[in-house]
Structures are given as C-alpha cells and as structure tokens.
Amino acid sequence: MKKIAIFASGTGSNARKIIEYFTNHQNIKVALVVSNRKTAPVLRMASENGVDTLVITRQSFYHSKSVLDVLDSYRIDAIILAGFLWLIPPYLVKNFPGRILNIHPALLPKYGGKGMYGSHVHQAVKAANEQESGITIHIVDEEYDKGRIIFQKSCPLEPSDSAEAIGKKVLQLEHRYFAPVIEEYLNIENQNNLKDEVI
Ligand code: GAR
C-alpha cells in the first residue's frame, strides 16, 4: 500500500476529490492532510472523511524537521500539493525525490512562480487575452513551479470569459484529472522500483 499526504492551504476541493478517489483503493491511501492554516476548510473536510490532519507553522516547517518525523511515522511515500502555497523546503525535496507532485492552475511555464496562485493566475491569463488555459501537474523541486512536467491539459477560453469563469473551467479539469494522474504516476513508480529491486 502506498501512502500519500496531501498538503493544502485553503478550501480543499482538490483534496476532497483525491480522498474520494482513493477511498477503498487497492494500493493507494490518503493517510494525512497537512495545512499551514489552522482554520483552513480542508482540515475539517479531511477529519469528516476520517483522514488524520496536521497543522504546521513557519517555524516548524522551515526551521525544524518535525514535519519529516510525522511523515515518517505515517510511512508516507508521496506528497501531493493541492493548493499549498508555501515553498517546499530543501530537506523535504531531498527526502522525497520525485515524490512530491503539485498541481498548477495554468499551462506552465506560463503564469507560474512566486505569487502566481489561485485567482492571480486567472487574472493574468485574462489580462493577456489568452485563447486557452489549463492545468499542469509537475514534480516539485526547490523552486516554485519549475519541476518536471508530467501532465498538462488545456481548455479553450472565450473572449467573454471573466477571470472567475476561467477559474471554473480550470478547476473542472483539476477535479477530473489530478487523482488519476497521481494514481498512474505512483503505479509506474512502483513498477520502476520493482525493476530496481530485481536488478
Ligand atoms: C487550485 O486551483 C490549485 O491549482 C491552486 O490552488 C487551488 C486550490 O483549490 N494552486 C495554486 O495556485 C498553486 N500555485 P482547492 O483548495 O479548492 O483545491
């Protein structure tokens, strides 16, 4: 069984979809939800779904390795960032090489980087009169939105689409594709590990 931890800062609609998708799954389980905001709705949603939660502070996240201890105690194999707005510190990247995935609500490398999250992204897309937007799922490294892209899906935009309407189109894609992409990625990784073990 592969265990995942979801990191999220806000509403947690993606976290909810992921939890629902992996409920009773054969070999993947959401074991923990981590948030940097103790009032984040995602924490309540997780508890209601029987998933353990952890609240982190800047101090604990950036100046100690206590998060790592908790992740180890749950035997977490992979971290999924679903609307998590803090930069992942180097010690976590090192401990989860290729095993931290992020979803970004635009077609990277456009509209990524520090400050580009949520509605800011859609406002920038709208301001640039883009004819399409979409989602990017990528591996996390030590910079915002820079790691290897493993999946993208686009959606056409109309000139009349507001930033809010763009956000809705993009969120639909996130809800549809994020969990299956996580599943496929972890299962492929599983096979690679198996191969390594055989060699
Ligand atoms: C999602 O649209 C996600 O792509 C975005 O935050 C939203 C969280 O929504 N993430 C970023 O912008 C990261 N740069 P949710 O809390 O309803 O899942």
Task: State the pLDDT at residue 66.
Answer: 96
53 vs 72: CA distance, rounded Å: 14
pLDDT bracket for residue 197 (50, 70, 90): very low
Residue nearest ligand 1's atom 1 by CA? 83
What domains can be seen in the chain, in order of their start residue?
Answer: 2-189 (3.40.50.170)
Task: State the pLDDT at residue 192.
Answer: 56
Return the active site residues: 104
For the whole model, what pTM was predicted?
0.94
31 vs 45: CA distance, rounded Å: 14
pLDDT at 194 over 90: no
SS3 state at 27: coil
State the closest ligand 1 atom to the C-alpha of 105, by its place in the atom list counted from 1.
4
Task: State the pLDDT at residue 181.
Answer: 97
pLDDT at 161 over 50: yes
Q: Among candidates 35, 52, 95, 120, which has minimal Cα distance to 112?
A: 120
pLDDT at 198 over 50: no
Q: Ligand 1: residues whose CB is within 6 Å?
A: 8, 10-15, 82-83, 103-105, 117-118, 121, 171, 174
Q: Among candidates 108, 139, 141, which has minimal Cα distance to 125?
A: 108
117, 122, 133, 143, best to mutate for ligand 1 pocket (most atoms within 8 Å of CB) = 117
pLDDT digits 0-9 by tens, 45-80: 999 999 999 999 999 999 999 999 999 999 999 999
Structure tokens given for 39: 């009032």
pLDDT bracket for residue 188 (50, 70, 90): confident
Structure tokens given for 117: 């999250």
